[in-house]
Amino acid sequence: MRVPPNYRSPGLERFFAGAVVGIVIGFVFFILIYGLAQDKQMQKITKQQVEIEGLKHDNEILKEKGLEENKELEKQLKVQEILVTIDDGDENLPRLVTFELKRKIAQRLDSFKNKNIETVADTKDVIYGLIEGYSFQVEDKLYTFTVKNFVVSSTLDLTVQLLDAKSASTIP
């Protein structure tokens, strides 16, 4: 048996041959374009990795500098304000008397303003002595206090408790 000549069409053979050659050329073109795109991506990733490493290094240097500067600034921190709170317990002192007592206690501690926080913290006993060993006079009464709470930061926060309120005229 032989294949009849009608089924061997040269036009059909050229079409299939052209399609196969076109597929091969298209595949080669696709591989070439894909490879170039991947090469660009690899270059971009490499460049970004180098940049990231540089930024990490710069970040570490800045962190170290920041820590050093913070330590230096911490040494330079000073007391800016003195805040006094009075715990009068059961004695309900008038507001004016409380205000005047707070002002007098703060004046007594004014020498600690603009001092280093470490220095003030180290002289805690002196502060206790200044408050507890002194009687404050307001409106013919003498008030004695004890230090209840003592916090040092940029504000010297002092809480004092009223121990005694004596009339100034009865004291010799």
Pairing of strands 81-87, 135-138: unpaired
Distance separating alpha carbons of residues 22 and 16, to the nearest angstrom:
10
**Residues 69 and 94 reside in one and the same domain:** no
Among candidate residues 75, 104, 129, the one where a domain is terminated: 75
Closest C-alpha to 145, from 127, 168, 124: 127
The angle at the Cα of 107, spanning 83 to 96, to the nearest 5 degrees, equals 70
Range of the domain at 63: 7-75
Total number of domains constituting the chain: 2
List the pLDDT tens digit at each of the 172 positions of the chain.
565 666 667 788 888 899 999 999 999 999 999 999 999 999 999 999 999 999 999 999 999 998 888 877 766 778 888 899 988 777 788 888 889 989 999 898 888 888 888 888 888 888 888 888 888 888 888 888 888 888 888 888 999 988 877 776 655 5
